[in-house]
Amino acid sequence: MHKLAVGPRARGAIDIADTPENNLRRIAFAMDVQVPDLTVMLLDRPRHQSLIERVRLLGSRLVLISDGDIAAALMTAWPGSGIDVFIGSGAPPRRCSPPVPCVASVARCSAGPGCAPGGVGGASRRRVRSRGEARIADLVPGKDVAVAVTGVTGGGLVRGVQYHNWWAETHSLVMRAQSGTVRDIRTKHHFALDPRDAHRLV
């Protein structure tokens, strides 16, 4: 499965069936920057070596990650993340179907990627076959969309769980498409307390 995600400034500029070079040139044009100004994120995998070299030849900045391609796709739509493009290939749709609507839902909430990774089912799959790509409207047809993301191991989008003496802290993002609100939430969990008393500190 080929994956390509961009932020709102490059929405509509990408074509999953085109070459990485042409996509990066169109993305740069849409964002009113030069190709070397783009920051491209990829999974550090042997299958991506050729793709990495092609991106380097264009002069774009590269960020290689060991895992977390779902978070990487979300980062392209997140202001201040510093990531303009996520590109690569990975697992077949039957393994990736559950997270794919999550990426599209965040895109709806943040006016993000114009093209989300494939791996949809039912009638949507037939529409995707005809175009060769999956668009946000296919993956998340509803209007009142809400998403909550909480970090476990951490990454560029949200921090992982931070452990302290007798308590832990989690970092979450809660987004709603209809209102356009994004809530950045840090929560303290007093896990050393008796569960019957914990609700008093929530």
Q: What is the pLDDT of residues 92-127, one digit of tens each?
A: 544 444 456 666 666 666 654 444 433 333 344 455
Q: How far is CA 15 from CA 18, 28, 180, 192, in A?
A: 5, 14, 27, 51
Give me the amino acid identity at 22: N
- 116 and 33 part of one domain: yes
- 8 and 102 part of one domain: yes
Pick from 126, 141, 156: which residue ends a domain?
Answer: 141
- 16 and 101 part of one domain: yes
- 40 and 81 part of one domain: yes
DSSP letter, residue 150: E
Question: Helix 49-58 to helix 20-31 angle, to the nearest 10 degrees?
Answer: 40
Give me the amino acid identity at 19: T
Q: How many domains does the chain have?
A: 2
Residue 123 has a CB neighbour count (10 Å cut-off) of 10
Phi, psi of 12 (to 5 degrees): 90, -5
Looking at residue 86, its pLDDT comes to 92
- 175 and 197 part of one domain: yes
Pick from 98, 125, 141: which residue ends a domain?
Answer: 141
Average pLDDT over residues 164-182: 83
Between the two ends of the chain, the Cα-to-Cα distance in Å is 42
Residue matched to tokens 């990066």: 24
Least reliable range by pLDDT among 77-91, 113-127, 152-166: 113-127
- 153 and 134 part of one domain: no
- 137 and 155 part of one domain: no
Pick from 95, 111, 141: which residue ends a domain?
Answer: 141
- 97 and 65 part of one domain: yes
Structural domain range at position 106: 2-141
- 110 and 55 part of one domain: yes
- 90 and 189 part of one domain: no
Nearest of 50, 45, 123 to residue 90 by alpha carbon: 45
pLDDT greater at residue 172 or residue 80: 172
- 11 and 97 part of one domain: yes
- 27 and 123 part of one domain: yes
DSSP E strands, 17-109: 39-43, 61-65, 85-89
Q: What is the pLDDT of residues 16-66, one digit of tens each?
A: 889 999 999 999 999 999 999 999 999 999 999 999 999 999 999 999 988
CATH number, position 71: 3.40.190.90
- What's the whole-model pTM score? 0.66
